[in-house]
């Protein structure tokens, strides 16, 4: 949130034109903490709400700030379709690999085998590789960082403001109580150390690499950086004038 | 033109500048016609991935200041109910057109129904009041679409236009007035310049409606679906919750006489009252006329607004009328409201949907009551 606030101040876009929309969940509360126009909507529907805001007033810089459960599980259909349309909104997705606010249930980013309150024997499902999903859906800009990469996150939010079209920044974040505790990453600092030791800057941006699927419990690199930087024209409503 | 097209023209005449929808029979012509018309008037037409998204986008556009609308039918309305609740709670004005078909489930997509009455009234979770109109002709599809926008803006709430397949697809002549003849009630706006201290949910005492602030105006407002205080920020207390939910309901009840609409035919000396709405009221009108020719003292009370229910009209009839007949294309949804208000038992002329109720069974019910 600090990165977002800093990016707003550095953006040269008037503060009054910045609007934040979020859904439901821990990071969904961001809308209530920012001193700008802010909308805390229904679970999963932040992106279509933001679409309405932006299309009805194109002068607004509309950012959606929400979690992986909100954006990818219940809001998954809106996520892919809005990326496909390339609507000019900026999405920041805080990924903590579980439904944190409701107490640590499994979701579409929970690694296979990881434990959750609704997966006491280990998660039987495969998770999404969000970089691949967003690239395939047509987002103009797709990157991944962790909360340890404060400067890069701020810079990418700033970059996304000047990139017309749909942008998506995934930020990995610890959830020591909901996810960490049952998966041997019981404190936040330990997870930050995992980020520090294993994060590796992606070189070729190939989103099909199966190593992009994140599983913090395994000794393998976590690829971060920019995966898509495209210039497809953003969505424009039809005009006959 | 047909009723769906008349509705779309009504939206354009009302200054609607945003439509988000998902195709569904028998409302599709509303979307198709607006896809043609909105680009001509600098408006936005967008087809969304589903009705959940359509309703969310409509609320977002409303928050940006647009007159925004969607159109659907029963199955789509079921999906919109989630964000209809958000719209009521955030007090975001907008119009939802529900062209009803035979339901429940997929039912009879191409045939008429009037069975969303209670879905509209109670479908979203929690306590609330809703505003809904039921046109009986293409002309009313035009007129009531404009009224729906006006009431939505004036009272800061979503308004339903509950048409049915017959009225939606019926072709009749529609008179479109000159633009300066179209009534326009705007949103109430703040009287003070932008400030962080502005309270976007502080209502005025006379109508319980707070002035509306749009995104980008510099007030730095917060809107949340959580229970909120007058500043708009979450306030997790039972007292605030009770106050807020009560105000949202009282806002509609206090202004009900300004919101509700009904029309009377042959009612002055009526001992028998037929109640109907939408396409069914056309048959009821025919039956009442025939019964009058037979000398039966019967009148028709046509509901133009369905919700809030016009209790006051029926309370007045409690003593003056002997019997009540309700004709509706469902198995008795408005009947119970009429029984509640009149304290008379009601004779229902019902059909589950799929075909218009003809005048004959209504006339039979009138003759039995006479």
pLDDT digits (tens, 9 = 90+) for B82-99: 999 999 999 999 999 999
pLDDT confidence band for A211 (50 / 70 / 90): confident
Mean pLDDT of the B290-297 span: 98
Residues B56, A48: C-beta atoms closer than 8 Å: yes
What are the pLDDT digits (tens) for B25-34?
999 999 999 9
Is A233 a domain residue? Answer: no
Q: What is the pLDDT of residue A213?
A: 85
Q: How does the average pLDDT of chain A come out, rounded? A: 95
> Which of A49, A57, A60 is the closest to B57 by Cβ?
A49
Domains and CATH numbers, chain B: 3-181 (3.40.50.970), 263-369 (3.40.50.920)
Residue B142, chain A, CB below 8 Å: the answer is no
Is 90 exceeded by the pLDDT of residue B282? yes
| Residue-range definition of the domain harbouring residue A131 | 2-228
Residue B227 structure tokens: 């229970």
Answer whether residue A237 is part of any domain: no
**pLDDT for residue A202:** 87
- pLDDT at residue A241 greater than cutoff 90: no
Considering the domain boundaries, does residue A16 fall inside one?
Answer: yes
**Is the per-residue pLDDT at A74 higher than 90?**
yes
Contact B82 A45 (CB under 8 A): yes
- Chain B residues 81-110 with a CB less than 8 Å from chain A: 82-83, 85-86
Query: How many whole angstroms separate alpha carbon B310 and alpha carbon B329?
Result: 20
CB–CB of B98/B27 below 8 Å?
Answer: yes
Q: What is the ipTM of this complex?
A: 0.97
Closest chain B residue to A235, measured at CA: B46
What's the pLDDT tens digit per position in B97-118? 999 999 999 999 999 999 999 9
Overall average pLDDT of the B229-252 stretch: 97
CATH number assigned to the domain comprising residue A42: 3.40.50.970
Query: Using one digit for the tens of pLDDT, what is the confidence trace for B131-184?
Result: 999 999 999 999 999 999 999 999 999 999 999 999 999 999 999 999 999 999
From B261, B282, B281, B300, select the one nearest B133 (Cα to Cα).
Answer: B261
At residue B196, the pLDDT reads: 81
- A73 belongs to a structural domain: yes
Greatest CA span in chain B, whole angstroms? 69
Q: What is the DSSP letter of A105?
A: B
Residue A121 CB neighbours (<10 A): 7
What is the domain count for chain A? Answer: 1
Q: Which chain A residue's Cα is nearest to B38? A: A239
Q: To the nearest 5 percent, what fractions of chain B are helix, strand and coil?
A: 40, 20, 40
With a CB cutoff of 8 Å and minimum separation 6, the contacts of B329 are B112, B113, B114, B115, B164, B278, B279, B280, B350, B351, B352, B353, B356, B357
Report yes or no: A95 and A68 within 8 Å, Cβ to Cβ: yes
Quick one: which H or E segment has residue B165? helix B165-169
In a domain, A234, yes or no: no
* In-domain check, residue A236: no
- pTM value surpassing 0.90: yes
Query: Given B43, B64, B68, which is nearest A60 (Cβ)?
Result: B64
Residue A235 lies in a domain: no
Would residue A112 count as lying in a domain? yes
Res B130: pLDDT: 98
What's the mean pLDDT when you consider all of chain B?
A: 97
Q: Which residues of A touch B51 (CB under 8 A)?
A: none
Residue A236 touches chain B, beta carbons under 8 Å: no
- Across the range A113-117, mean pLDDT stands at 96
Please answer yes or no on whether B194 and A16 come within 8 Å at the CB atom: yes
């Amino acid at each position: 949130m600090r990165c977002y606030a800093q990016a707003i101040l550095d953006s040269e876009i008037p503060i009054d034109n910045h609007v934040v929309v979020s859904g439901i969940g821990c990071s969904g509360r961001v809308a209530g903490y920012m001193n700008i126009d802010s909308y805390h909507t229904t679970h999963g529907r932040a992106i279509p709400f933001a679409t309405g805001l932006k299309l009805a007033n194109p002068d607004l810089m509309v950012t959606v700030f929400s979690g992986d459960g909100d954006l990818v599980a219940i809001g998954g259909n809106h996520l892919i379709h809005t990326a496909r349309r390339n609507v000019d909104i900026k999405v920041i997705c805080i990924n903590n690999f579980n439904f944190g606010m409701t107490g640590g249930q499994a979701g579409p980013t929970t690694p296979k085998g990881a434990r959750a309150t609704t997966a006491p024997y280990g998660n039987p499902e495969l998770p999404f590789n969000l970089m691949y999903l967003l690239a395939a859906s047509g987002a103009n800009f797709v990157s991944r960082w962790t909360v340890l990469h404060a400067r890069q996150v701020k810079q990418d939010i700033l970059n996304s403001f000047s990139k017309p079209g749909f942008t998506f920044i995934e930020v990995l974040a610890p959830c020591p109580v909901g996810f960490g505790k049952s998966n041997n990453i019981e404190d936040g600092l330990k997870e930050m150390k995992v980020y520090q030791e294993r994060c590796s800057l992606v070189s070729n941006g190939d989103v099909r690499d199966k190593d992009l699927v994140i599983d913090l419990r395994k000794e393998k690199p976590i690829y971060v950086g920019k995966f898509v930087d495209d210039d497809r024209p953003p969505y424009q409503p039809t005009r006959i004038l | 033109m047909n009723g769906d097209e008349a509705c779309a023209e009504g939206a354009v005449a009302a200054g609607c500048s945003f439509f988000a929808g998902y195709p569904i029979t028998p409302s599709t012509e509303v979307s198709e016609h607006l896809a043609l018309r909105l680009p001509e008037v600098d408006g936005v037409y967008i087809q969304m991935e589903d009705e959940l998204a359509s309703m969310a986008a409509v609320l977002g556009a409303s928050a940006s200041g647009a007159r925004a609308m969607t159109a659907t039918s029963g199955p789509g309305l079921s999906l919109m109910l989630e964000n209809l609740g958000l719209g009521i709670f955030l007090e975001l004005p907008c119009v939802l057109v529900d062209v009803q078909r035979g339901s429940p489930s997929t039912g009879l997509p191409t045939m008429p129904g009037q069975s969303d009455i209670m879905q509209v009234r109670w479908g979203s979770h929690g306590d609330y009041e809703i505003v809904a109109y039921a046109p009986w002709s293409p002309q009313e599809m035009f007129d009531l679409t404009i009224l729906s926008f006006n009431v939505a803006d004036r009272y800061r709430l979503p308004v339903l236009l509950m048409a049915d397949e017959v009225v939606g697809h019926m072709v009749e002549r529609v008179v479109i007035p000159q633009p300066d003849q179209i009534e326009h009630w705007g949103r109430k706006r703040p009287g003070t310049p932008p400030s962080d201290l502005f309270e976007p949910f502080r209502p005025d005492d006379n109508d319980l409606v707070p002035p509306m602030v749009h995104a980008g105006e510099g007030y730095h407002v917060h809107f949340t679906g959580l229970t909120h205080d007058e500043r708009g920020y979450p306030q997790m207390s039972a007292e605030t919750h009770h106050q807020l939910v009560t105000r949202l309901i009282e806002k509609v009840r206090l202004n009900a006489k300004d919101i509700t609409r009904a029309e009377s035919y042959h009612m002055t000396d009526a001992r028998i009252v037929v109640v109907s709405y939408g396409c069914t009221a056309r048959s009821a009108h025919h039956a009442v006329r025939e019964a009058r020719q037979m000398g039966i003292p019967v009148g028709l009370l046509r509901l133009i607004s369905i919700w809030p229910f016009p209790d006051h009209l029926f309370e007045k009839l409690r003593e003056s009328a002997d019997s009540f007949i309700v004709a509706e294309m469902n198995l008795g949804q408005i009947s119970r409201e009429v029984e509640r208000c009149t304290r008379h038992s009601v004779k229902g002329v019902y059909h589950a949907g799929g075909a218009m109720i003809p005048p004959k069974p209504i006339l039979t019910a009138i003759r039995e009551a006479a």
